[in-house]
Amino acid sequence: MFKKTACYVISVIILCSLISFSCFLSFAADGQSTPIPTVRPTLLPGICEASIKPDFDFANNEVLKGFYIDGAMNAINDKGILFAPNSTNGLSPFTIHKEGYLSRHVELPIGKAKNPIEMWAGDINGDKRINIADIILMSSSFNMSYTASDQNIVSDFNKDKSVNMADVMIIARHFGATVNDYPEYKAY
């Protein structure tokens, strides 16, 4: 009788242990499968950040200076970093300008953009296209060199203090293009 009772008690203990262990495993499994909250772009106003640079190779970081957006002249610093408030719909349309460059319209999501915004040099007269009129303007300063650090010759795209064939090659990259020829900007 005693043995039978003992066996019963031991069986109950083992059974309870198995049930407890099973519950623990179930809980642990549930814990693992609980989806991690996804960080989603908020639709509230925020800050967007992106780097802006010419699409040609350059050695002088002076070329990164002078970009600006409408209504926020200081939103882009001298290193070409745009840091600006976003609108309420999650995307902010900006038009980026710089003297001598084709203006570019972009929409930026909130947060730090991965891809730089590339700008095309060559629109010297600012008429939203790169054509022969810009070449004629460039010819007026062709073969011109200068030394003054504060002098800004628009046709000197690579800022090597001289307007020469290197700048002609830069303007030739997108000769014939208008502001509508930029590809859609992908931030990521």
| Residue ranges that bind Ca ion, judged by CB under 5 A | 123, 125, 127, 129, 134, 156, 158, 160, 162, 167
Nearer Cβ to Ca ion (48/138)? 138
> 98 vs 129, which CB is nearer to Ca ion?
129
Q: Minimum distance from CB of 89 to Ca ion (Å)?
A: 32
Extract the runs of DSSP E, i.e. beta strands, from 62-181.
68-69, 81-85, 91-97, 100-101, 104-109, 111-112, 117-119, 121-123
What are the helix and strand counts (H, E) for the chain?
A: 3, 9
Min separation Cβ 84 and Ca ion, Å: 26
Tell me, what amino acid is at 164?
N
Query: Least distance (Å) from Ca ion to the CB of residue 92?
Result: 27
Nearer to Ca ion, 106 or 123 (CB): 123
Packing angle of the helix pair 165-172, 132-139 (nearest 10 deg): 170
Smaller CB separation from Ca ion, 70 or 99: 99
Q: Cβ 125 to Ca ion, closest distance in Å?
A: 4
The least CB distance from residue 37 to Ca ion, in Å, is: 50
For Ca ion, which is the closer residue by CB, 86 or 155?
Answer: 155
Q: Which residues contact 185 (CB under 8 A, 6 or more apart)?
A: 104, 106, 107, 108, 115, 117
Q: Which is nearer to Ca ion, 134 or 187 (CB)?
A: 134
| List of residues 6+ apart from 30 with CB closer than 8 A | none
Strands (E), the chain: 47-54, 68-69, 81-85, 91-97, 100-101, 104-109, 111-112, 117-119, 121-123
